Amino acid sequence: MKCIILAAGYATRLYPLTENFPKPLLKVGDKAILDWLIDDIEPVIDEFIVVSNHKFAQIFEDWAKGRSGNITIIDDGTTSNETRLGAVKDIQLAVNKADIKDDCIVMAGDNLLDFSLGKFVEFARDKGTACVMCHPEDRLEALRKTAVITMDDNCKITSYEEKPVNPKGNHAVPPFYFYKAEDLQLIQTALDAGCGYDAPGSFAAWLSTQKTMHAFVMPGKRYDIGDVESYERVKAIFQK
């Protein structure tokens, strides 16, 4: 199994911390955000593909050389937030450049979990379909800023919306996805059909209209490091 880590953003809300340094390599406790993510699922992944922008690619290369694991850094060629490719196109770039023909975990490089992602992998393998993670979210304002799903009693997704104004459900979807090998070959088809490409969940939302998908209800918390305040909060939690 492969793992694509989306790390090509510019994290402008974390300036000046990330003006010349990539957010996924910021320290939380005694290691970088990416180290937490990779250390957790390294036993079940045979290659990690980290997609970086051009500005930070060399920093990621230097980091990868200093740790264990089969890690490939892919430079998406962009140099500014205004010219970014978008998450779905970065996934497509990783699939093509790394010639991925295996099942794959796709995740953002700026989120931390207080449970093992291995539980999600087990769930996805059991279901045998593309899968997302989800958690209950009752705040309307928060639901409007994320992907939202509804599902049946067997965790089969029945609707999937990206940043809905009037959400149909209250299960939010963080940027952690499991795709079958054949699903990844449909990204260009999705883009040609008008699928959004900035948010990573746009492809999953499109795929849910084409195939059966399931949702794994998270057994713990996810921490999104979006600004300085949330970064300081996460550091305090993980240093306990």
Paired tokens of 156? 């089969």
Burial 92-123 (b: 16+ CB within 10 A, else e): bbbbeebebeebbbbbbbbbbbeeebeebbeb
> In angstroms, what is the C-alpha Rg of the chain?
17
Q: Side chain identity at 209, as an amino acid letter?
A: T
Could you tell me the residue ranges of all domains in the chain?
2-238
Name 140's bridge partners: none
CB atoms closer than 10 angstroms to residue 226: 14
Query: Which runs of E-coded beta strand occur in 21-94?
Result: 27-28, 31-32, 47-52, 71-75
Look at residue 35 in the predicted model and tell me its pLDDT. 97
- Name the token pair of 29: 């406790």
Contact residues for 127 (Cβ-Cβ < 8 A; gap 6+): 155, 214
Q: What residues in the chain have per-residue pLDDT under 50?
A: none
Beta-sheet pairing, 130-136 with 171-173: antiparallel
pLDDT value, residue 239: 82
Q: Give residue 225's pLDDT.
A: 93
pLDDT at residue 82, as a whole number: 87
In CATH, the number for domain 2-238 is: 3.90.550.10
- Report the percent of the chain where pLDDT is more than 90: 88
**Structure confidence by residue, pLDDT tens digits, 148-198:** 999 999 999 999 998 889 999 999 999 999 999 999 999 999 999 999 888
Helices 33-41 and 118-127 sit at what angle, rounded to 10 degrees?
A: 50
Q: Percentage of residues in the chain with pLDDT exceeding 70?
A: 100
pLDDT at residue 240 in the model: 66
